[in-house]
Amino acid sequence: MKLPVKIRLKQMNKETLFEAYQHEEVLTYCQSCSNYEKNYSCPDFDFDAVSYLEPYHYATVILTEIDTEPIQSQIDRLDVSGLSSRVLESYQKEKPDETVDMTSVISMYAFNSIKDQMADQLIELEKEMDHTIGLPPGSCTKCVVCSKLQGEPCRFIETLRYSLEALGFLVSEIYKRSFDLELGWAKNTLPERFCSCSVLMSKERIDETMILNELEGMVLEINEE
């Protein structure tokens, strides 16, 4: 099953993005996550969003949306063994006694897949547009075990990037302000759509069609039995 990824963009100046900067509050959420201080893409950092984003003046928020109706209608035909993901693995490590329901397995797989695709796409966009940097969704899951845990440097330092959440932005606020979206979550049910939020920071205003062209044709692939 190949599900198309719909892309919506909202370009704004950096000050508008910073209206959703709630560093203290977001850090408390990060501190209760198993990745806190265990992954180079996650807090605590020896820098902050203000200094990290200092060279940039504009933010283009990139929303990905996938309609989940086709998954829901064929859920019995999906190949569960093909739905493993690093996000699921780390969740199970954190809560080994908890049974993860099918809809959560699918949601984590979908998030992981889009997160990885967006991380790669943003790196490509950075190469095409001068003075830009991407903020992909979620934490980095490139390596099975992040080398931070072994006290070693990041294995892919050139492409190490940080999510909006990791930098202290309240992403629910960005969804609301940029796209008038309030995302809910319910156990044992798929949401109406899977969404993720990334940003391409830039020094100058950018041509949005370049982003749309780069991301055209993105799909979420799910194996069927």
Point out which residues bind ligand SF4 (CB under 6 A).
39-41, 140, 142-143, 146-148, 154-156, 160
Nearer of residues 40 and 175 to ligand SF4, judged by Cβ = 40
Closest approach, Cβ 164 to ligand SF4, in A, equals 17
User: What's the CA gap between 216 and 223, in Å, rounded?
Assistant: 22
Closest approach, Cβ 42 to ligand SF4, in A, equals 8
Nearer of residues 96 and 151 to ligand SF4, judged by Cβ = 151
Closest approach, Cβ 185 to ligand SF4, in A, equals 25
Nearer of residues 158 and 182 to ligand SF4, judged by Cβ = 158
Closest approach, Cβ 43 to ligand SF4, in A, equals 13
Q: Which residues contact 42 (CB under 8 A, 6 or more apart)?
A: 30, 33, 35, 36, 139, 166
Closest approach, Cβ 99 to ligand SF4, in A, equals 27
First to last CA, the chain: 10
Nearer of residues 95 and 155 to ligand SF4, judged by Cβ = 155
Nearer of residues 47 and 156 to ligand SF4, judged by Cβ = 156
Nearer of residues 122 and 211 to ligand SF4, judged by Cβ = 122
Residue 7 CA from chain centroid, whole number = 14
Closest approach, Cβ 187 to ligand SF4, in A, equals 29
